[in-house]
Amino acid sequence: MISLRDVSKRYGLLRVLDGVSLDVERGEVVCLIGPSGSGKSTLLQCVNGLEAIDGGSIAVDGEAVHGRGTNINRLRQKLGIVFQQYNTFPHLTALENVALALRVVKRMPRRDAEAAAARQLAYVGLDGKADQYPSRLSGGQQQRVAIARALAMQPHYMLFDEVTSALDPELVGEVLQSLRKLRADGMAMLIVTHEMAFAREIGDRVAFFQEGKLVEVGPASQVLDAPRDGRTAKFLGRAAQ
């Protein structure tokens, strides 16, 4: 379980996260929606320990992410994260992108790492592209390389940060397809998204986020179709236009 308790974070005077509490169970899919600049990306980076927090706590399977004694590099293997801007490694082929961390973090022999990487690329539908460099791949393909790269570490949880918003519209579908497949395989996910229809379809629960606060959390259909908080309704109204 990923468990956030009263998490707060500041950038200078700006309160980016303000008392956020949220649980993501094993096998559960939670979608995070909210206006841009509200702190969603920051939240994911905090869960992954890429950003420090100023108050509260984040625990993954009972282990504190920001705890002193925590081996963050080991803990991160449980948490895959995929960024909006793919961040594929430009100097490595698709296969090498996926195999790199297996070799240096899990210390797998090159051959095993590459075999595992090939399986992950096949999982996201990129069997034919293993030897291509990112510069030769479309945005959707690069994003799927990034997903395969995170999945290769066999994480228990996946964090997705607006993974389709940098993509041309016709490439969005192929990436969402990979997420659907993951859900069917029972992966626990925390997904930041702007696609309301997709959130309704894939999310067990939806959380609405604004100005660093969790305004409303509940079953997907409830939050999206019958929001209890006026701010959620207003946001959904604007998003629908």
Partner 1 sequence: MLDYQFHWRAVLADLPELLGGAVVTLQVTALSVIVGVPLAVLLAACLRGGASARRPARAFIEVTRNTPCLFQLYLFYYGLGALGLNLPSFTVAVVAIGLNNAGFLADTYRSALQAVPAQQTAAARSLGMSFLNAFWHVVLPQMARIAYLPTVNQVVWAMLNSSLGTLIGLRELTGVTQFLQSRSFRTLEFFLLTAALYYVLAKALMLAAALLGRRLARGAP
In angstroms, give the least distance from the CB of 79 to partner 1. 8
Residue 24: helix, strand or coil by DSSP? strand
Question: Which CB sits closer to ligand ADP, 141 or 193?
Answer: 193
Question: Residues 25, 57, 133, 229: which binds partner 1 (CB under 8 A)?
Answer: 133
At 154, give phi and psi (nearest 5°): 55, 60
Q: How many Å apart are CA 183 and CA 176, to the nearest integer? A: 11
Question: Which CB sits closer to ligand ADP, 50 or 104?
Answer: 50
39 makes contact with partner 1 (CB under 8 A): no
In angstroms, give the least distance from the CB of 162 to Mg ion. 6
Question: Which CB sits closer to ligand ADP, 20 or 98?
Answer: 20
> If contact means CB under 5 to 8 A according to the sort of partner, which of Mg ion, ligand ADP, partner 1, none does residue 16 touch?
ligand ADP
198 makes contact with partner 1 (CB under 8 A): no
Enumerate residues 69-88 that contact partner 1 by CB under 8 A.
73-74, 76-77, 79-81, 83, 85, 87-88
Count the residues in the chain: 241
Q: How many Å apart are CA 115 and CA 123, to the nearest integer? A: 13
Contact yes or no for 210/35 (Cβ under 8 A): yes
Count helices and strands (H / E) in the chain.
9, 10
Site string for partner 1, 152-191 (x = CB under 8 A): -x--------------------------------------
> If contact means CB under 5 to 8 A according to the sort of partner, which of ligand ADP, partner 1, Mg ion, none does residue 3 touch?
none
Cα torsion 23, 148, 197, 137: sign: positive
Question: Which CB sits closer to partner 1, 89 or 198?
Answer: 89
Question: Residues 38, 41, 97, 143: which binds Mg ion (CB under 5 A)?
Answer: 41
Q: How many Å apart are CA 136 and CA 93, to the nearest integer? A: 10
Residues lying near ligand ADP in the complex (CB under 6 A) are found at 11, 14, 16, 36-42
The 10 Å Cβ neighbour count of residue 181 is 13
Question: Which are the contacts of 20, defined by CB distance < 8 A and separation ≥ 6?
Answer: 4, 6, 7, 8, 43, 56, 212, 213, 214
